[in-house]
Structure 1
């Protein structure tokens, strides 16, 4: 097994961009929804407007330069090429930190937090809060390879992250994640507790405790979870059972790929149903490009097939911190979480923000990560 780490630069061929614009211009659109909201999915006019911008105005070369300002690499782990950003801190005592994204996200979620985390002094902070940051693309996502065999669930990914950090010279490190990144981070704590200084999550998935009286916040969390299970889980059922079938349409149609993931930004972000207005068309399309360009509709969905039937973990004693954003899919109470995490050092319930914490609230995200890891430095 080679342990070579090779520099990587994102360079999308012009011909692929021409093909993207051509496909967008030739999209065969369905009829409009007979409702005045998002209850049947992404409204036709909303998606058409964003696709028109994608085809006619979106400047990928400029966006590509923003991504390429950070050092990127690839290395092969267990036969699979892993793409990652690695930004060492200029401060000598910085803590290594791996940030893991989920679906339908990508490494672009973290672009606004890397510099404040690695060089806090340059952003009004304290050198004692510095991190050397590693941001991998999940297997089957972005410019990581697409697995050609089964077995790449969250446990295998956690083992790969440990190997990656070892190759970079980091014996102990912190881990942070949301969505699948939260699950991978939990897998790290379960299998490799001695390698971790601590874990920080912005999505905390634990079993609700319905015994005794519920607080108002706990009842609201259960109500939102019930609504999600009734109205919002069709995507995960499809991806967990028949990801290959889904992949044909999404890989062939950029409008289809964008619509599939845009719905989740509209529903899970704290954006009042207007992800373009709150997050910006360019940032949303940056993320979509990391699915469209490498053609990862099916391979990214397979993570659900690989991991949804995994058994629950036992409680972890690794120091843990949580940032609970109010528009998250599930907002557990600390009381519920204490059964799964026996050493909670920081528990923050924030006033705004949703599922894509670093993307939506980068300043708050940075402050929360700094504050938690101060307790374990």
Structure 2
């Protein structure tokens, strides 16, 4: 680690949103839902389907939000982390910077997507700072940095035409010029994977390791996999089918947020239950069906905390604009960037996107491809122990 620059004024930050809770609870309590299911088709009584969140599921979450959810407890848990803000290129960047006691700790930046936030990584942050010894005797620990994407929760709204490549640039500045790390690693999911791959590709002298659970390339079709004589494991077959189902039946929110972000953003701006219905549907459908049972911590409290952060920071509208501003972010030609930095990939069985090892190897210096039979899209909540283990493995390949 080098000395951090004095050019940037890093300010300690503390979450303090409790004053808005009485109004939030009142809105949630007084939101009228249908007395009975008015859907002309079956969406299930207590499960999520591709037709949307069931009335029973939403009503249960609504009741839980009013009667059982304790924002002060969740806020206190989030404030156990070290939060900061800094202005880079006129953008206020909120970030967690949790440092290890180990002087040789490796810097890692964790990159979330939508409908996530820094909260998505809260189960893994402190454990990653702790020393771990591999079977080969190498000690690994991390200094963990978790920024909020522009327009998400406590980070400022970006200007027009701002893309994830722009975010990559200011995040590299955050890691190097602000925090003083000459080299670092990254973990990324969802939109964070687009951002993470931009960092991996464009900042090859500073990014010296990447762990991804998604890549910004189209998933190969089943016919393509067969034509290339690729054999899939049973878990991979489930993941492949999940990806097929998702792409064919669950693109409505993606289309809406890419083409009409202001419509959905304004419609739900002051409707916490509306935001809950929109976000909970994605969180439930994209996660493991066993979510909320160990090792998953993706339960109602996690969902309500996520939605509360969006609502209380008034960032739902600005967050959905990430789709419109990055509508052309998918790479359609598999090419390797000019870097020798190690790339690691983890496949979680119920993540609704699928790439076999042979395809991930086309886009980087792939050194590890792990398959997990538990977990989904939100791995930090869906299977924290597995994600911690895979990020720790990245430290075995890291060379500053």
Q: TM-score, normalised by structure 1?
A: 0.92
Structure with the larger helix share: 1
Matches within 5 A, 1:80-159: 80-120=91-131, 128-147=139-158, 149-159=159-169
Residue of structure 2 equivalent to 1:3 = 8
Instruction: Give secondary structure in 1 for the equivalent of 2:351.
Output: coil
1:359 aligns with 2:378: no
Instruction: Give secondary structure in 2 for the equivalent of 1:142.
Output: coil
Taking a change above 3 Å as real, the CA distance of residues 151 and 171 of structure 1, as seen in their structure-2 partners, is farther
Query: For 2:273, which of 255, 264, 283 is the aligned residue?
Result: 255
Taking a change above 3 Å as real, the CA distance of residues 139 and 50 of structure 1, as seen in their structure-2 partners, is same
Query: For 1:266, which of 284, 288, 291 is the aligned residue?
Result: 284
| Structure 2: runs of 5+ lacking an equivalent | 1-5
Aligned equivalents of 1:221, 1:64: Cα separation in 2: 35
The alignment yields a C-alpha RMSD, in angstroms, of 2.5
Does the CA contact (< 8 Å) of 1:8 and 1:72 recur in 2?
yes
1:23 aligns with 2:27: yes
Residue of structure 2 equivalent to 1:298 = 317
Residue of structure 2 equivalent to 1:213 = 229
Alignment deviations for residues 274-324 of structure 1 (CA, whole Å, 9 cap, x no partner)? 799962221211111111111111111111111121362742333100111
1:369 aligns with 2:391: yes
Aligned equivalents of 1:371, 1:269: Cα separation in 2: 24
Alignment deviations for residues 250-283 of structure 1 (CA, whole Å, 9 cap, x no partner)? 2121011011111111111102587999622212
Deviation at 1:222, TM superposition (A): 4.8
Taking a change above 3 Å as real, the CA distance of residues 10 and 273 of structure 1, as seen in their structure-2 partners, is closer
Instruction: Give secondary structure in 2 for the equivalent of 1:90.
Output: coil
Aligned equivalents of 2:237, 2:142: Cα separation in 1: 37
Residue of structure 2 equivalent to 1:284 = 303
Residue of structure 1 equivalent to 2:348 = 325
1:71 aligns with 2:93: no
Aligned equivalents of 1:114, 1:157: Cα separation in 2: 22
Does the CA contact (< 8 Å) of 2:349 and 2:371 recur in 1?
yes
1:35 aligns with 2:42: yes
Q: TM-score, normalised by structure 2?
A: 0.87
1:197 aligns with 2:220: no
Does the CA contact (< 8 Å) of 1:174 and 1:197 recur in 2?
yes
Aligned equivalents of 1:39, 1:238: Cα separation in 2: 16
Instruction: Give secondary structure in 1 for the equivalent of 2:92.
Output: strand
Instruction: Give secondary structure in 1 for the equivalent of 2:156.
Output: coil
Aligned equivalents of 2:62, 2:209: Cα separation in 1: 41
Instruction: Give secondary structure in 2 for the equivalent of 1:194.
Output: coil
Aligned equivalents of 2:292, 2:13: Cα separation in 1: 34
1:245 aligns with 2:268: no
Aligned equivalents of 2:366, 2:50: Cα separation in 1: 37
Aligned equivalents of 2:387, 2:397: Cα separation in 1: 16
Residue of structure 1 equivalent to 2:243 = 225
Aligned equivalents of 1:274, 1:92: Cα separation in 2: 36
Taking a change above 3 Å as real, the CA distance of residues 45 and 222 of structure 1, as seen in their structure-2 partners, is closer
Aligned equivalents of 1:221, 1:45: Cα separation in 2: 28
Does the CA contact (< 8 Å) of 1:334 and 1:347 recur in 2?
yes
Alignment deviations for residues 41-86 of structure 1 (CA, whole Å, 9 cap, x no partner)? 1111211111111122211111100000111000111111111000
